[in-house]
Copies of this chain bind each other. A is one copy, B any other.
């Protein structure tokens, strides 16, 4: 009997995470390295899997949960590639063919945040809920949605960081940092916006700095928008910004104030602590999602 062995790659904009295994309680090996050029970065992933094959035997399938934009539909002519992106050197890089040509196994492919949504719904904080939104707020802002047991795809995939948000110039004179939309959610609340607005990186701002009140306001506006658009049963907030311990209670309180009782559910009143939550899989959500993509590509999960 052949042993099934899955490889997962979380290909983020700043770091790659690779793992071998089948789930949160079965990770045989794991590695992390910074995202540089496609050749160097994929080269390190390939080297890791080749080395692991030497130890554990041949891989059954590989899943890649990558930064986007990308086309997650296998029938698209651009499937497998990174679509045009400001990220230097990555435009049109065909990550899936490189992996397929090297390992000759089925390759699963989707966005990094979709991977995290998939893993959180299967093993993490989203278990038993439908729909589940996973949102990451860090260098960029992106989201994935699980609905009816599957990832939400459409034209391409959600780009939830780019919803337009109201900005009151009296409260926040910073016009926004998104090169496409100025003051969209990402333009107002991702890491680069924090740094440009306050002149220092978010990690260096103390917990009582007014930056956090404003940051929580924008996050709450965005969540209010997703709540009335998608009616999620769970919202999971990942990424660096939410690692500030004071942020989560502030965000919950502001969501309640903004919705103002309109959505009639106990999850928005008494039970909000169970509704807007941190990831259950911590930093492993993305790579565990990639393992699930591998299993799906092989016809499992």
CB distance A181 to B262 under 8 Å?
A: yes
Provide the residues of chain B in CB contact with A152, threshold 8 Å: 131, 147, 230-231
Contact A166 B163 (CB under 8 A): no
Q: Chain A interface mostly helix, strand, loop or mixed?
A: loop
Please tell me if the beta carbons of B158 and A230 are within 8 angstroms of each other in the complex: yes
Q: Which of A167, A233, A260 neighbours the largest number of chain B CB atoms within 10 Å of its CB?
A: A260
A109 to chain B, nearest CB (A): 16
Q: A273: CB under 8 A from chain B?
A: no
Nearest Cβ on chain B to A256's Cβ, whole angstroms: 12
**Which of A84, A153, A155 counts the most B-chain CB atoms under 10 A from its CB?**
A155
Q: Verify B163–A229 contact, CB threshold 8 A.
A: yes
How far is it, in angstroms, between the C-alpha of A21 and the C-alpha of B143 when the chains are bound?
A: 42
Closest B-chain residue to A226, C-beta based?
B229
Can you list, as one digit per residue, whether each of A141-173 has a CB less than 8 Å from chain B (1) or not (0)?
A: 001010110101111111111111111000000
- Inter-subunit contact B263/A159 (CB<8 Å): yes
Please give the count of copies of this chain that the complex contains. 2
Give every chain B residue within 8 A of A261 (Cβ-Cβ).
180
Q: Are A231 and B180 in contact (CB under 8 A)?
A: no
How far is B232's CA from A118's CA once the two chains are assembled, in angstroms?
19
Number of interface residues of A (CB under 8 A): 50
Nearest CB in chain B to that of A266: its residue: B155
A41, CB-defined interface residue at 8 Å: no
Asked if A267 is at the interface of the complex by the 8 Å CB criterion, the answer is: yes
Which residue on chain B has the smallest CB distance to residue A233?
A: B154
On whether the beta carbons of A164 and B224 are closer than 8 Å, the reply is yes
Q: Does A195 contact B (CB under 8 A)?
A: no
Identify A166's interface contact among B167, B264, B265, B268, CB under 8 A.
Answer: B167
Query: A228 at the A/B interface (Cβ < 8 Å)?
Result: yes
> Could you tell me the distance between the alpha carbons of A122 and B67 in the complex, rounded to whole angstroms?
34
Is A156 within 8 A of B229, CB to CB? no
- 16 examples of A-B residue contacts, CB within 8 angstroms: A69-B263, A131-B154, A143-B229, A154-B232, A155-B231, A155-B267, A158-B228, A158-B230, A159-B263, A163-B163, A163-B225, A164-B258, A180-B261, A181-B258, A225-B225, A229-B229
